[in-house]
Structure 1
Amino acid sequence: MIFTQEEVQRIREQSPGMESEGALTEELLNLIYQNRWFKLFVPDDLNGRMSSLPDALRIFRECSRVDGGLGWLVTIGAGGGFFASLMKPEVGAALFADEKAVVAGSGAPTGTAKRVENGYMVSGRWKYCSGAAHATMFTANCIVEAPEGEEPGENAEIRAFIFTPDQVRIHPDWNTFGLKATGSHSISVADLFVPDRMTFLFTEVHAYGDELIYRYPFIPFAQASFAAVALGIAAHFAEAARDYIRVKERKANVQRKLEEQEALLSRTESAFYSAITRSWDELVLHGSLSEAGEKQVSEQCLSAVRSVLTGTFELFSLLGLSAAMEDSPVNRTWRDLQTVCQHSLLLPEE
């Protein structure tokens, strides 16, 4: 437990307002800064609090149990620490050392970059940049145009670009029915010159190569992070449902379904953390994660998400019309869970 019950109550009292405003309160942002949750994967000498993956996932889960928007933003913000190893050391030091340093951005290569002297001219628009309003830096991927006279190849270079907040335009277009407080808006730039030093490739490590977390494969890392958020929100949903059932005095079959859901969640979490711990132990022992280890983590993450989605839907469908009201906690947590589980990395494989 990283929150007292009083802190949980205080944060949840702010949840309706954060949902309507589409952003975390300053109080919660300051809580994140004080605990350095955005820096769970940032090296210690950059004012980070470098953590193992199992430890970080428990923080993601617990923050998400308290409030879905809080958990998602902590998780996404912490994940940006991965880039500290890919940036040139002097750039990473300048960008991550600040106590409020946090990345927002998008992995989709929906921008274009043209090579010019000492850098690139960049244009594009990128969706789903969670935490755009409080980000101190943005990262976005672009397809680098082929040199003049050359045909664009199928294996065009994809390069990541670093923008400062004053260089981007934020488009307030995050209008999903869940995770409203995350402010996951689009950003754009147009004909922006970006010097070479403010770019990086995902295949080139420039610093901190001995940090174990940077050796963990990124896809299962991201899947595990998002699955931890889903598990935390599912736990909050169960709490909210228990309170709802007690007040509404629902029938015994609804109570039984809640108990089944709580037992299912407990088993799912146990299997999830066991898989993550095994993978981390393998990384510690061998310095890398095997293909079989990667597959096991991915499968466990997808299984955990499908399990909690099915369980919460079955319970939600028994709660009655009051549960459909957007201002009820049980409704908000259900919507947050649905939204998290729509992330492409958590969707079932074909």
Structure 2
Amino acid sequence: MLFTTEEIQIIREQALEMDKHRRVSPEMLRTIYDHRLFHLFVPDELEGRMTTLPEATRIFQESARIDGNLGWLVTIGAGGGFFAAYMSAEISRRLFAHREAVIAGSGMPTGTARKVDGGYIVNGSWKYCSGSTYATTFTANAVIDSGSTDHDAGNDGASLTRVEPEIRSFILHPDQVKIVEDWNAFGLRATASHTISAADSFVSSEMTFSLAESIEYEEEAIYQYPFLPFAQVSFAAVAAGIADHFLEAAESLAMQRNRSALVFDKLNKCKAALEQALSTFYETVEDSWRELKRDGRLAEDTEAGVTAASLAAVQAALSCGQHVFPLLGLSAAMEDTEVNRCWRDLQTACSHALLRND
């Protein structure tokens, strides 16, 4: 077990207040910093604690089992270490090599950037930037403003060809962004997944990168893992951890309220289904990691298998809430109960676009 009994107790005791006030507690952040959980995918030479994907996945699940907000923030924060492969070693050291370093940002290209001498002028807004209130660095994707989206392919201007926009990632300091506190979701309330915006922010060329161009730390296997299945594996582990906590809280409540045998039968069936899905999930992740270490890449069918196992694990986790929650009675409908908080966190986590089967 990564966390001490005392750490778990403190975080769970503070969970209700974090949920009510929609902010992470200093004690929970301190625990994350102490274990260097935001640095799970940061190279050791940058004061990281580089971790294999299978091991990190179990850490994500364990964190989420303690508290959904903890699991989500650890997973998102650790994922920012992926960007070290796309930055120069000098920039990476500046951004990652200290205890409280963590990136928040968005992958959606909802900003624009205009080229100027020495860099770019960036404008835009980006939603769902988890960890925004304590991030030491922000990253955001923006479309490069070329002045035109069409190209005149004919002498008379009658024939126009659509040009694909260029997208780059921009590294922003906290004083270059405004946090719009609009994260009002009913679950994962303490994740500070707010919108950030930038207005005429100058970003030097060295503080930009392309996700199509890996330039550093090629010896680190995690940076060779395809990003989509990497993200799906990470989020699936969070969903599983929250489901674990939900089932624990549901069983406790059912015992307190002397619920019928039907409730406990459903609980046991959900536990078994989740365990089976997670067994396949972890076996698939570990097999993919061995393949990556052996071949330096994943085959397409392996990627597809990882995605399928991740989505199956998420569906099993979500089903726990869907099948058990309605059987718990009105007491579970109260927002200040542990089981209600877990249920809301589970619904919210599983709503992520990468985890939906539509």
Tell me the equivalent position of 2:24.
Answer: 24
CA contact (8 A) 1:23 1:183 kept: yes
Q: Alignment partner for residue 296 of structure 1, among 292, 302, 305?
A: 305
**Is 2:123 aligned against 1:123?**
yes
Shift of 1:246: 0.8
Shift of 1:150: 6.4
SS in 1 for 2:133: helix
Letter in 2 for 1:208: Y
| Gap change, CA 1:148 and 1:246, over 3 Å in 2 | closer
Residues in 2 aligned to 1:25 and 1:154: alpha-carbon distance in whole angstroms = 47
TM-score (norm: length of structure 2):
0.95
CA contact (8 A) 2:114 2:121 kept: yes
Residues in 2 aligned to 1:236 and 1:311: alpha-carbon distance in whole angstroms = 11
**Is 2:52 aligned against 1:52?**
yes
- Where does 1:25-174 land on structure 2 (aligned, <5 Å)? 25-147=25-147, 151=151, 153-174=162-183
Shift of 1:6: 3.9
CA contact (8 A) 2:123 2:201 kept: yes
**Is 2:228 aligned against 1:230?**
no
Tell me the equivalent position of 1:272.
Answer: 281
Shift of 1:272: 0.7
Residues in 2 aligned to 1:146 and 1:312: alpha-carbon distance in whole angstroms = 48
- Where does 1:154-233 land on structure 2 (aligned, <5 Å)? 154-233=163-242
Letter in 2 for 1:28: M
1:146-204 per-position Cα deviation (integer Å, ceiling 9, x unaligned): 14696494411110000011111000000000000101000001111111001000011
- Where does 1:311-350 land on structure 2 (aligned, <5 Å)? 311-349=320-358
Tell me the equivalent position of 2:253.
Answer: 244
Residues in 1 aligned to 2:311 and 2:178: alpha-carbon distance in whole angstroms = 34
| Gap change, CA 1:269 and 1:32, over 3 Å in 2 | same
Report percent identity of matched pairs: 53
Residues in 2 aligned to 1:138 and 1:333: alpha-carbon distance in whole angstroms = 29
**Is 2:267 aligned against 1:258?**
yes
Shift of 1:304: 1.2
TM-score (norm: length of structure 1):
0.97
1:313-340 per-position Cα deviation (integer Å, ceiling 9, x unaligned): 1111111111111111111001000000
Structure 1 residues 65-74 or 81-90, which shifts more? 81-90
Residues in 2 aligned to 1:67 and 1:211: alpha-carbon distance in whole angstroms = 30
Residues in 2 aligned to 1:99 and 1:63: alpha-carbon distance in whole angstroms = 19
Is there any run of 5+ residues in structure 1 with no aligned partner, and where?
Answer: none
Is there any run of 5+ residues in structure 2 with no aligned partner, and where?
Answer: 152-160
Residues in 2 aligned to 1:255 and 1:6: alpha-carbon distance in whole angstroms = 30
- Structure of larger gyration radius: 2
Residues in 2 aligned to 1:39 and 1:165: alpha-carbon distance in whole angstroms = 19
Aligned length: 349
Shift of 1:309: 1.2
Shift of 1:5: 3.7
Residues in 1 aligned to 2:300 and 2:338: alpha-carbon distance in whole angstroms = 41
CA contact (8 A) 1:42 1:48 kept: yes
